[in-house]
């Protein structure tokens, strides 16, 4: 049940058609794991905490540096040197004390990934390298947990939703049948990134999570949504499961 304080806090959701009180209660009961408290993780953390998602876990083993602050808005200048998960927890608790924030100061890998992901209903991938994305997708598919995956670089970004355990939906390998070469996926340190791109894609990832939790709308399953920040254009590419 929602408390009187929560009813006031989430009033704009509660009066929203197709969300309402039942949708808000679904948000409160949901458990969402976010991979990474960086550029994509920051807006996802902010909007899911504000939306009243009951349990938010964040896994990241990095610390805050000044170069992060151009795009990672949950961290402050005085947080330099603090672990990102602890900095993000401070932000989320200040924004919404009703949220149970679980800080996981680890790097997700082959050994701990299944254990970390298992307690959650939904996973959001905001990691910054292809190998981690592929690993997260594999663990989520095995655990039958929907995955909202996003990526950004330079002036561009994209996102999609993987749920290959249902209705013969496409898998990560259907969208990425071959591993990209390093020059195809340069790191932010090498190529740079425009800060607001992370807000666009991270905000859309948060939107997909809310849709999955509440059942509102059509999630981006089998659809890759891309954003070109320079020309302000969205494009959609459909992909299918290979035989």
Q: Average pLDDT, stretch 210-233?
A: 97
Q: Is residue 185 part of a domain?
A: no
Show the domain range for 210: 4-176+190-238
Average pLDDT, the chain: 95
pLDDT recorded at residue 231: 97
Q: Is residue 54 part of a domain?
A: yes
Residue 234 has pLDDT above 90, yes or no: yes
Whether residue 25 contacts residue 2, with contact meaning beta carbons closer than 8 Å, is answered with yes
Query: How many angstroms separate the CA atoms of 26 and 155, rounded?
Result: 35
% of the chain exceeding 70 in pLDDT: 97
Q: Is residue 18 part of a domain?
A: yes
Label the pairing between strands 122-125 and 31-35.
parallel
The pLDDT confidence band at residue 190, using thresholds 50, 70 and 90, is confident
Give the CATH number, domain containing residue 79.
3.40.50.720
Q: Is residue 243 part of a domain?
A: no
Give pTM, 2 decimals.
0.96
Q: Is residue 231 part of a domain?
A: yes
Q: Is residue 121 part of a domain?
A: yes
Q: Is residue 184 part of a domain?
A: no
93-147: pLDDT as tens digits:
999 999 999 999 999 999 999 999 999 999 999 998 999 999 999 999 999 999 9
Alpha carbon 201 to chain centroid, angstroms: 9
State the burial class of residue 235 (Cβ atoms within 10 Å of its Cβ: 0-12, 13-18, 19+): exposed
The pLDDT confidence band at residue 220, using thresholds 50, 70 and 90, is very high
Structural domain count of the chain: 1
Residue 183 has pLDDT above 70, yes or no: no
């Amino acid at each position: 049940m929602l408390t009187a304080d929560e009813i006031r806090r989430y009033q704009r959701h509660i009066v929203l058609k197709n969300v309402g009180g039942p949708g808000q209660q679904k948000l409160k009961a949901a458990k969402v794991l976010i991979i990474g408290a960086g550029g994509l993780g920051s807006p996802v953390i902010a909007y899911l905490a504000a939306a009243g998602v009951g349990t938010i876990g964040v896994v990241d083993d990095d610390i805050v540096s000044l170069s992060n602050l151009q795009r990672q808005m949950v961290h402050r200048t005085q947080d330099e040197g603090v672990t990102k998960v602890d900095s993000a927890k401070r932000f989320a608790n200040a924004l919404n004390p009703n949220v149970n924030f679980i800080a996981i100061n680890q790097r997700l890998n082959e050994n701990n990934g299944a254990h970390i992901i298992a307690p959650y209903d939904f996973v959001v991938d905001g990691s910054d390298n292809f190998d981690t994305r592929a690993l997260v997708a594999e663990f989520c598919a095995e655990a039958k947990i929907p995955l909202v995956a996003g990526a950004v670089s330079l002036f561009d970004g994209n996102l999609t939703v993987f749920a290959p355990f249902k209705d013969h939906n496409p898998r990560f390998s259907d969208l990425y049948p071959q591993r990209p070469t390093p020059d195809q996926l340069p790191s932010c340190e090498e190529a740079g990134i425009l800060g607001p791109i992370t807000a666009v894609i991270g905000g859309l990832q948060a939107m997909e999570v809310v849709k999955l939790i509440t059942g509102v709308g059509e999630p981006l399953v089998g659809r890759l949504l891309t954003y070109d920040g320079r020309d302000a254009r969205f494009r959609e590419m459909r992909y299918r499961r290979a035989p």
